[in-house]
Amino acid sequence: MNCKKCQIPCIKNGFQNSGKQRYYCKLCKTSQQESYTYKAYNKHIEKRIYLLVTNSCGINDISRILKISRHTVKSKLLLMSERIKKPIFNEFAQKYEIDEIFAKVTALPNNCWVTYAINRETKQVIDVNIGKRGAKDLDKLVNRILLLKPKRVYTDKWKSYKTLIPNHLHRMGKTLTNNIERYHLNLRTHIKCLSRKTICYCKSVKTLTAIVSLYFWGYTLNFKTLPKVR
């Protein structure tokens, strides 16, 4: 058997408790086996979790479908979100829309919001903030938009935006944020814990941040192609 990391031949190194042959790589100095009984070791498991979580499946749903522990699903989501590379935007004099959508999180009951900004023309998500929606919490998100020297910034009439966005750039009104309101519908459809009248929720802001980041920028991860179903 060749090592799964460096591809050099391994030597036999006893047996596992299950009776399977164990191998040892002298270069990596790691023990491994040719195949695993637990399905979470499958090399395509992250791709499957990503596809399910961005298509209206909760953590418990994924655990039941893939037959792996829900704690494993959660840890995989967090690990994938850490590998995400946010796109670098060098666009200037563009129009942006900023709005928030309520999220049910037990760590912040009745006070957790997913606030994000999109380019009005390209519909790309520029940045996101998850948590409270006070001026201190939204400051980082708004500053990211202001660094791009926007032509206009459209929001609703939430008071925090008035103190953060200069008057000559800021335009307020519910009809001015139609594009991002339509994007809210996508989020509610594809992320289960953001759906209206649902019993699904996240226990921590960290988990919700991982799920939302995967939905916005998960395409930057280089997943291996899933095998074709015959």
pLDDT in tens, 143-167: 999 999 999 999 999 999 999 999 9
pTM (2 d.p.): 0.82
For residue 111, what pLDDT band results from cuts at 50, 70 and 90? confident
**78 in Cβ contact with 206 (< 8 Å):** yes
**79 in Cβ contact with 56 (< 8 Å):** no
Tokens (6 digits) for 144: 């990211």
Asked whether residue 218 is assigned to any structural domain, the reply reads no
Query: Could you tell me the CA-to-CA distances from 144 to 8, 138, 140, 165, 188 in Å, in that order?
Result: 46, 10, 6, 11, 25
pLDDT of residue 229: 45
pLDDT of residue 180: 96
Q: For residue 4, give the CATH number of its domain.
A: 2.20.25
Asked whether residue 24 is assigned to any structural domain, the reply reads yes
Q: Which residues pair with 130 in a beta bridge?
A: 114
By residue range, what is the domain housing residue 169? 95-206
Q: For residue 150, give the CATH number of its domain.
A: 3.30.420.10
Kindly state the DSSP code that residue 41 receives in the 8-state scheme.
G
pLDDT at residue 230 above 50?
no
Side chain identity at residue 61, one-letter code: D
In this predicted model, what pLDDT tens digit does every residue of 1-44 receive, in sequence order?
898 888 889 999 998 887 889 999 989 888 888 877 777 777 78
Cα distance between residue 36 and residue 68, in whole Å: 13
Instruction: Quote the Cα angle for 55-84-6, to 5°.
Output: 110
pLDDT of residue 76: 93
**13 in Cβ contact with 31 (< 8 Å):** yes
Cα distance between residue 6 and residue 209, in whole Å: 33
For residue 120, what pLDDT band results from cuts at 50, 70 and 90? very high
CB atoms within 10 A of CB 22: 15
pLDDT of residue 74: 94
Asked whether residue 228 is assigned to any structural domain, the reply reads no
Residue 4 sits in the same domain as residue 54:
no
Residue 78 sits in the same domain as residue 109:
no
Residue 168 sits in the same domain as residue 119:
yes
Side chain identity at residue 64, one-letter code: R
Cα distance between residue 208 and residue 101, in whole Å: 13
Asked whether residue 224 is assigned to any structural domain, the reply reads no
Residue 153 sits in the same domain as residue 102:
yes
Residue 43 sits in the same domain as residue 108:
no
Asked whether residue 229 is assigned to any structural domain, the reply reads no
Query: How far separated are the first and last CA of the chain, in Å rounded?
Result: 27
Query: Could you tell me the CA-to-CA distances from 26 to 5, 14, 15, 212 in Å, in that order?
Result: 12, 15, 17, 40
Asked whether residue 150 is assigned to any structural domain, the reply reads yes
pLDDT of residue 35: 78
Residue 66 sits in the same domain as residue 135:
no
Asked whether residue 227 is assigned to any structural domain, the reply reads no
